[in-house]
Amino acid sequence: MNYQNICEKAIAVVREVGNFILEESSKFSLNDVETKSLNSFVTYVDKKAEERLVKGLSELIPEAGFITEEETIRKKGDEFNWIIDPLDGTTNFIHKVPVFSISIALTQNAETVVGIVLELNRNECFSSYKGGKVYLNNNEVRVSEAATIKESLVATGFPYYDFGILKQYMSLIEELAQKSQGIRRLGSAAVDLAYVACGRFDIFFEHSLNPWDVAAGAFLVTQAGGVVTDFSGGSDYLSGREIIACPGPVYKEFQTLVDSKIKKG
C-alpha cells in the first residue's frame, strides 16, 4: 500500500467536499437543523458531505469499510476502514462561527495509517501518512517545545451532554487557568488536535469524544512528535472517549494533574 499516494488522493476528495460545505454555508438556515440528542445537532450539510466523502474515498480503496458520524453507510472492512467526521464543529457551523473542519483517518488492521484534517475557513489542510511527516498545506510542522504547563497554551472542550464529571472537570480547568498561559475552546476537537500537531496549542484534553472526532487529529499529533493517551495514561483514546495530546516533555506533569483531579468510578 502506497500511503503517500492514498493520502494525496484523499486530500483531493476532502478539498472537493470542503468546497461544497463552504458553498452551502451561505444558504444554510436554522430551519435545516435536526437534533440527534441533547445539544447534538446535524444538518443536511453534514449528511451530504459524508455521502460525498464516502463516494470519493470508496474509489481509492474499494474494499475499505467506513466508521462515520452520521451513519450514512454501514460497512465494516476486513483490513481497511475510513473513520470520518464530515463536519466537525457543526454547532459552530450552525451559528456561523468560523471554526469547523473535515476529519478523516484511514486504519489498516486497526492501525491508523493516514490522517487528514481540513479547517475550512482558513483553508488549512493538515495531513500525514505512515512513514511520512506532518504537513500544513505544503509546510512540514511539529509539536511545540513546551516543557511545562506554565509554558503552555491549553485547548479543551466543555461537556455539552455528559455531565458526570463536570465538577471535577471544572476544578481541573480552574487550576489550569492559574498555571498555564491560557485556555481556549474552539469547538472542533479535530482542529484542536491539528493545532497541537503544528505547535499552536501545547496541550489538548477533552472527554465524551467519539472515534471520528479524534482519529485523524491524534494521528497527526503522534506523527508530529507528540504524545497521545487517555486520561489514565493508556492507549484507549479512540473508543475510551477521553484524550490528552501534547509534547512529550510536558506530558507527565499534565497527565499527573489530570489524574489527580478526575477520579472515575
Same domain, 154 and 135: no
Give the whole-angstrom CA distance, residue 111 versus residue 219: 10
Give the whole-angstrom CA distance, residue 242 versus residue 214: 10
Amino acid, res. 213: D
Same domain, 123 and 189: no
Same domain, 21 and 114: yes
Q: pTM value?
A: 0.94
Q: What is the tens place of the pLDDT at every residue in 26-74?
A: 887 666 677 655 445 578 888 999 999 999 999 999 999 999 988 888 8
What is residue 72's predicted lDDT score, i.e. its pLDDT? 81
Query: Is 248 a residue whose pLDDT tops 90?
Result: yes
Contact 199, 221 (CB under 8 A): no
CATH number at residue 223: 3.40.190.80
CATH number at residue 71: 3.30.540.10
Domain boundary residue, one of 141, 161, 192? 141
What is residue 39's predicted lDDT score, i.e. its pLDDT? 41
Query: Is 203 a residue whose pLDDT tops 80?
Result: yes
Query: Is 85 a residue whose pLDDT tops 90?
Result: yes
Same domain, 20 and 106: yes
Structural domain harbouring 136:
3-141
Same domain, 53 and 160: no
Residue scoring higher pLDDT (124 or 42): 124
Residue 145: band (very low, low, confident or very high) from pLDDT cuts 50, 70, 90: very high
pLDDT mean over 174-195? 97
Residue scoring higher pLDDT (141 or 24): 141
> What is the residue-averaged pLDDT of the chain?
93
Q: What is the tens place of the pLDDT at every residue in 210-244?
A: 999 999 999 999 999 999 999 999 999 998 899 99
What is residue 265's predicted lDDT score, i.e. its pLDDT? 42
Residue with cell 479543551: 156
pLDDT mean over 88-108? 95
What is residue 35's predicted lDDT score, i.e. its pLDDT? 66
Give the CA angle between residues 52, 1, 139 to the nearest 5°. Answer: 70
Domains of the chain: total: 2
Give the whole-angstrom CA distance, residue 106 versus residue 1: 12
Same domain, 116 and 187: no
Residue with cell 466523502: 53
Residue scoring higher pLDDT (167 or 33): 167
